[in-house]
């Protein structure tokens, strides 16, 4: 019975360690993405991920608010 308890404790420790490593990696990747988006915003280059997300957010926001349906082409011209 003691051996079983030690195995369970070891598995729990292993799971917690893996969770902490994965959480750290996720935080690192999100920070990297944030810095990339900030850099793209400052570059004012059209066609990158930042520009694409801005156009889609604006288009979807307009649809949700019930405004006149504006095509994505018009939204792209605004941004």
H-helix or E-strand spanning residue 60: helix 49-65
Instruction: Convert the pLDDT of each residue in 7-39 to its tens digit.
Output: 888 888 888 888 888 988 999 999 998 999 899
50 Cβ contact list (under 8 Å, min separation 6): 37, 40, 41
Tokens representing 23 are: 């959480």
Does the pTM surpass 0.85? The reply is no
Tokens representing 14 are: 């292993």
């Amino acid at each position: 019975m003691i051996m079983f308890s030690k195995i369970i404790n070891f598995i729990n420790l292993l799971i917690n360690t893996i969770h902490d490593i994965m959480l750290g990696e996720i935080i690192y990747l999100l920070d990297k993405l944030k810095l990339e988006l900030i850099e793209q915003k400052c570059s004012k280059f059209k066609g990158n991920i930042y520009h694409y997300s801005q156009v889609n957010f604006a288009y979807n926001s307009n649809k949700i608010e019930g405004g006149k349906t504006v095509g994505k082409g018009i939204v792209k011209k605004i941004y």
